[in-house]
Amino acid sequence: MTPLSSDHYITISKTVRTVVDVTPHLWSGRLVGAMVITFITQGVTIGAYAARLAGVQTHRIATSISLYNLFMTVGRLATLFSVFFIAPLSDAAGNAAGQLQSNPADLAVWQHVFEWQLRLIVLAGTIGMLVFAALLPMFTYLFRRGVRSFEQRGSVPHAVAQLAKVRNVIDVLRAEHLPSWTQLRSFNWRTVPKRLMISNILVTGVYSIGVQAAFLASVLDPHVARTATSLSGVINGVGTILFTLFVDPTSSMITDQAIHGTRSVEEVRTMVFYLSLTAIVGSLLSQVIFVQAASVIEYVARFANHLHF
């Protein structure tokens, strides 16, 4: 048997490295990190719905909405940190896509794996919504305590610091209780405008995939990768318009009506329940339109790159 020369060993080594380089791995620490952050941020979005109910119960709508906005701002700010985990995954898939243009089979594998990584991140957000929806009684109590604490101290940071005390944290945790089947059946969907529920499904469906669709689009066409990753606003912009026109005004009107006695507190509680439910449905819907949203961003990115001024 003829021994292999050093050149043969070098060739084999390069071949092995090439096989390893073009073999993507679904799970990684970065993927788990992105899933954890998305779980929390999407869950906080659901928890923020409780602010409207707390506002009716305390008759402090403006203060409750301020705390609601604080929660939403924290949630959206935390979303920025998920980019630190998603972006390296996108870079790995994008680099592979750039190198494998002449090998469609391997390129398709990378794109498929990256798509499933992004879908898992979106799914983590859906699970976060489910978990935090079950914690709505606790969040409602938290907002009520927050309103009282803010009124006493006149400062949001001081109010938050007060709520963070161990004794108050224990009180908030004790306020949690899962609703019974009878309570769930008492939520009459007919008291909630259908337009509000449908709009919330669409808004959540769009918001849940804006960033992820942009990253997928960057891998679908590496030539417009940088443009695509900056175009998540194409998707989120639609959600913002729908939220501003339909969801926020209608839910605010129902809350105001409860304050003035034309609606009951139970109707606001029902609205919060169905806002949470439709948000979860919207998050599931986002999985259906995910690839289409990425294709829209890819198309816009190509269009932007072909414009000449």
Mean pLDDT of 4-23: 46
Q: What is the pLDDT of residue 159?
A: 79
> Is pLDDT at 282 greater than 50 in this prediction?
yes
Within-domain flag for 248: yes
Q: What is the band of 238 on the pLDDT scale with cuts at 50, 70, 90?
A: confident
Query: Is 13 inside any structural domain?
Result: no
pLDDT score of 101 more than 50: yes
In a domain, 3, yes or no: no
- The lowest-confidence range among 24-28, 131-135, 266-270 is 24-28
| Of 162-166, 269-273, 295-299, the least confident | 162-166
This prediction's pTM: 0.87
Q: Which domain holds residue 65?
A: 26-305
Contact status, residue 64 vs residue 150, Cβ threshold 8 Å: no
Beta-carbon contacts of residue 46 (< 8 Å; ≥ 6 apart): 128, 129, 132, 133, 136, 276, 279, 280
- pLDDT of 117 reads 96
Ranges 49-53, 163-167, 205-209: which has the least confidence: 163-167
Residue 122, both tokens = 């979106």
Interval 298-308 mean pLDDT: 87
Q: Does residue 23 or residue 67 have the better pLDDT? A: 67
- Cα-Cα end-to-end distance for the chain: 67
Between 13-27, 49-63, 67-81, 109-123, the lowest mean confidence (pLDDT) is in 13-27
Q: Provide, rounded to the nearest whole percent, the portion of the chain with pLDDT above 70.
A: 90
Distance of alpha carbon 238 from the chain centroid: 15
| pLDDT tops 50 at residue 14 | no
Three-state DSSP string of 223-266: HHHHHHHCCHHHHHHHHHHHHHHHHHHHHHHHHHHHHCCCCCHH
pLDDT at site 11: 47
If one counts the domains in the chain, the total is 1
What pLDDT was estimated at residue 13? 43
Q: What is the pLDDT, as a whole number, of residue 3?
A: 53
pLDDT at 295 over 50: yes
Least confident of 19-23, 82-86, 241-245: 19-23
Answer for the pair 279, 45: CB distance below 8 angstroms, yes or no: yes
Helix, strand, or coil here: 218? helix
Residue 5 belongs to some domain of the structure: no
